[in-house]
Amino acid sequence: MSTTSEHRRMKPVLDLARKLDIATNSAPEAIFDAGSAGFQIWCTPDDKPKGWEHVNLIAGAFAKPCGFVASVFWGWDVNDTITHLRLVTDAYDLDRASRRSTNVHNRPTDIAWAKKKIRWLFKQAGVKCPPIQVVR
């Protein structure tokens, strides 16, 4: 394998994430922000992890109200093969909405919600989803 062939293998996923870009697409399933080696996942008032009920999400520069939930990056082995996905969640809007400091890094409910969205995206793109590893 090579990094080029691996990027080609993940191209359908990133293409779909770009089509479902939260910045420009107001469709309910448009909650992604694609990069070159992964993507971010955002929640909306109608689709968010448990515990976000009291958070007032705003659109800002995006197509609809949203809040950042997760980053997903390709995980590589020494042979330049993508073997897994690296997931990290940080619910910054949850911390902002709280009147006290809140641990918003890798909350179990955010991880579960993000994994569901990752698997859905890969399935829709027709690409087998690699194992998902949470970055601590």
Question: What span, in angstroms and rounded, lies between the C-alpha atoms of 7 and 38?
Answer: 10
Domain that holds residue 28: 3-134
Can you give the pLDDT of all 136 residues of the chain as single tens digits?
Answer: 677 888 899 999 999 999 999 999 999 999 999 999 999 999 999 999 999 998 999 999 999 999 999 999 999 999 999 999 999 999 988 877 776 667 889 999 999 999 999 999 999 999 999 999 999 8
Selection from 8, 1, 10, 2 nearest residue 127 by Cα: 10
The structural domain count of the chain equals 1
Selection from 72, 70, 74, 71 nearest residue 10 by Cα: 74
